[in-house]
Amino acid sequence: TACITGASFGIGESVALELAHAGARLVLIARTADKLEKVQQQVRERGGQAEIFACDLTDPAAVQQLLQQLSELPGGIDILISNAGKSIRRSLFDSVDRFHDFTRTAALNYLAPVQLVLGLTPLLLSSGGQVIYVSAINVLLIPPPKWSAYQASKAAFDQWFRSIGPELNSGGVATTSIYLPLVRTRMIEPTAHYRRYPAMQPEQVACVICRAIVSRRRSYKPWWMPVAEVTCLLLRWPIEILMTWILRRGRGG
């Protein structure tokens, strides 16, 4: 039984449809009930089973109620795929009166998955299950300007997840971090210049996640990531100076 958050669109939907071909039993979680019902129908048409739960993951009380419902499912939970996320690109100077940007991003990208993992840990321990976190390559590289809310929230959960990894592993639960580059989903649509960049398709990411379920590997990164990580390590200061210069020119000197 695989539990997928953010299952109504993009990567979550693609993973659900891919697993359906294997006859998996799915627990689909998202905020939009009517879209979840459509994904549920597609899963059934492909030979899988799916139960749906509409839940606002930014609401701790709603998440606690969801966890109670999940704990009562026959057969428990074997795999948690933490995919739900929110992206915000906004300059610091445009954020001085928008503290809510940071609280709502942290609520979905950090606090919600923490609450879910904590609540599902007993079920995962009993099944020798797996937690898969859909992360981003940004958390391993130099943080870019204008992405502070998103960057901090994703990095926070990444650090927390890597910290608890050995503990879960000692109990027989596998932990997998999927570090993704750009993926062509509705999340990146508001950033116009991303439309010109190369990006993975959600179906490609679904295949990566399915392979991680079979292999139970600790992480996935694009093949070129080691070069990018070493470059950021060796050239951190020049890169940060260059970013400052570019931003200064954009502000008119």
Distance separating alpha carbons of residues 190 and 180, to the nearest angstrom: 18
28: nearest Cα among 37, 110, 76, 72:
37
Amino acid at 188: I
Q: Sort 253 into a burial class: Cβ within 10 Å, 0-12 / 13-18 / 19+.
A: exposed
Which is catalytic among the residues 150, 179, 194, 220? 150
Q: Which residues pair with 81 in a beta bridge?
A: 4, 132
150 is catalytic: yes
Distance separating alpha carbons of residues 215 and 166, to the nearest angstrom: 17
Is the C-alpha dihedral spanning 125, 178, 13, 33 positive or negative?
A: positive
Does residue 204 sit in helix, strand or coil? helix
The residues, any chain, with a CB within 8 Å of residue 51's CB and separated by 6 or more, are 26, 27, 28, 40, 73
- Residues recognised as catalytic: 150
